[in-house]
A and B are shown apart, each in its own frame.
Chain A
């Protein structure tokens, strides 16, 4: 019986490896694969193109999307009377987000420029005329520069002429962040994905225990292998465990996808099968490793086989079983993340979606969450096992 005995160092190493693999994947996928259109080639690592793409990407991962403020639309307006003198001229503000026209008023069909200052940087905005009637007349789309500045041509159309002393106004709609910093949507989505993944692993592990525990006794030499029938049962169960164990969870998940839709259900089913095989073997080895003395002693009292199993074997294997179960839950969280990545739901699926749609900050959030969860599960499982044995 050999459960690995993880320590802090193992946990740290695990974290670093996970992080490295995730980053390597993203680099490779977004940089090399897309850039060259061909599968991975180590020489691509030297291509400046890769690093040019990878650099900002790395930045995105280091700044995961965790928190955001509420966004409210705010309209910035300034009266520009058409024709001149039909109403009072607008007075641009001296600072803050503002629109500044090159002329205070205009005649119909005049062209003038409007500059915007201290707006959101690098943002696409739509310029428009607000008519005296209250309706608006759409204008061109512009994009602010890094300082939140733009400059654009406007035309004073007859339709914007002052009516009943009310002037037309130039305006732009801004998205303004207001209020406290709150957990972002990505944060909640990631949290949701993590919980789904942990529960997928938990359900698969629990279902597997229910199946593997009884069968593991049949695959234990010291319980079953007596007489021709016992020997046949022993070899049959053992062989089934061995065959199942030779499959990868992901392969089985793909097979199940033909039956049921590829999603969390197929993922859990596949994970269950793999876990049954693995736990079945670990369990039966634990049973074979028990002290045979109590079995002998209770057989000698006239107890039947079921009583001997329950009173002499079960108490001896409980600590091992508990530690194997927790160990497997831990492993299954990792596997179900991967199954999720190929479509099985949970955090893996979210990560795949974000990477494929280029939302790298959100992918970053997911990767950090995976690292955190894998590390935490590893730590918890090690602690529980330490305490229980």
Chain B
């Protein structure tokens, strides 16, 4: 279980990105975080694996205080939390295989990994992960030779290499068209259902939220303004969350 308790984040320039955010995520949930651009979704997800340092508050994961972890302990926490990004964040000049293997870096020795000595097991696992996202034949291609949707699938394979218990996905489909969006989210849904991997995912479009979320929390100006089931979010709620920009977001929906 992931417990976020009274989380605050104030950036050095004074921006209050998160204010007193508290919520729990049960194992096996597909939690979707919604909110306007700038409402603090990315900040929240990055606080969970400490890519961003929270200013105040606590994050407990299976009872372990993530906010207090340092050094090797923190890396130990991180390697069980996969992360997917809007911009895929692959190393573009490296091969697909190298990108996927990089997901194992938290598990292997520094010296061996630097000279590229990967165990047969790791390589086999990487191939299985690529097969799972349907890209086994692209293993030796350079990452930047792939389309956006393919790159995001490689990123999922990389996260799988971590044997994660939790996947954080920060707007994983915001750079993709609707058809590809569904294909990517279906992979996440499959991992969530079959591997019992907890997913915390931020999304922009209401129809995707309705289709994939088991639970939803909404952020507005860094504060939680809604927690509940996806069906509870009707047009009125939606307008409440998105304010005057609601029309704009809906326009995106019909596209």
Contact = CB atoms under 8 A, between A and B. Distances in A.
A91 B4 CA distance: 122
Contacts of B80: 302
Interface in B62-115: 75-83, 85, 87-94, 98, 102-107, 110, 113-114
Contact of A302 (B78, B87, B92): B78
B158 interface: yes
A77 B46 CA distance: 102
B93 A306 contact: no
Contacts of A302: 75-80, 105-107, 162
A300 B83 contact: yes
Contacts of B76: 302
Interface string B36-58: 00000000000001010000000
A175 interface: no
Contact of A307 (B82, B105, B162): B105
Given A306-B114, A311-B91, A315-B91, A300 B51 contact: yes
Contacts of B161: 301
B89 A303 contact: no
Contacts of B103: 301
B93 A316 contact: yes
A318 B105 CA distance: 21
Contact of B105 (A293, A301, A315, A316): A301
Interface in A316-332: 316, 318-319
Contacts of B75: 302-304
Which residue, of B51, B82, B91, B161, has the highest number of chain A Cβ atoms within 10 A? B91
A163 to B, nearest CB: 90
Interface of B: 49, 51, 75-83, 85, 87-94, 98, 102-107, 110, 113-114, 155, 158-159, 161-162, 168
Given A301-B106, A307-B113, 12 more contacts: A293-B85, A294-B91, A297-B83, A299-B51, A301-B104, A301-B105, A302-B75, A302-B78, A311-B105, A316-B91, A316-B92, A316-B93
Interface of A: 291, 293-294, 296-304, 306-307, 310-312, 315-316, 318-319
The 6 closest A-B pairs by CB, nearest first: A302-B106, A302-B79, A303-B105, A293-B89, A297-B89, A302-B78
30 contacts: A293-B87, A296-B51, A297-B85, A297-B90, A297-B158, A298-B105, A299-B78, A300-B51, A300-B78, A301-B78, A301-B104, A301-B159, A302-B75, A302-B79, A302-B105, A302-B162, A303-B106, A304-B105, A306-B110, A307-B113, A307-B114, A310-B113, A310-B114, A311-B91, A311-B98, A311-B105, A316-B92, A316-B93, A318-B93, A319-B93
